[in-house]
Amino acid sequence: MEESGKRSINGGLVVLGVALAVGMVLSSWLVSDTVKSVKLANQTIAVKGTAQVDVRSDIALWAGRFTARDADLVKAYSKLESDLEKVLGFLGRSGIPREEIEVSAVTTMIQYRKTSQGYDTNEIEQYVLDQTVTVRSKEVDLVASLSRE
């Protein structure tokens, strides 16, 4: 009985050894497959697509700014007014109706004379006046061609 008991124990150990070996092979395969999947996951790129379609604009918006400078505020304003008339005349002759032209308010900046050290004094050197003219029109091609002149 001792011999059959030893065979039974030896047989059980063999089965246990085979089961452990198969388990180790399977777990090694699972670990290597998981590692490979993780590494490959970092090498993929997910892209959400967009499509581009050329769209023809149905409105043109064009803005231009002009400036006048003078030591005398009244003269600077007169220069700016004269420039505005020239701009409006050009746009009118080019076929832009007055109701499609917006004229901004005049912006005034005072530049003071500086000392030899670069500090501002209270003495006015000149006035700088700015004004912007904006064209908003459905004549896109006309405005585009005017903007290149």
Tokens representing residue 54 in the block: 């050329």
Within-domain flag for 118: yes
C-alpha dihedral (110, 69, 65, 105), degrees to nearest 10: 50
Tokens representing residue 118 in the block: 């670069």
Contact (Cβ atoms closer than 8 angstroms) between residue 67 and residue 127: no
> Residues 79, 140: one domain?
yes
> Residues 13, 75: one domain?
no
Number of domains present in the structure of the chain: 2
> Residues 80, 139: one domain?
yes
Q: pTM for this one? A: 0.59
Query: For residue 99, what is the domain's CATH number?
Result: 3.30.70.2970
| Average pLDDT per 10 consecutive residues for the chain, totaling 149 residues | 61 78 85 77 72 85 94 96 95 94 96 90 94 95 88
Structural domain boundaries, residue 102: 60-147
Q: pLDDT at position 89, please? A: 95
> Residues 107, 37: one domain?
no
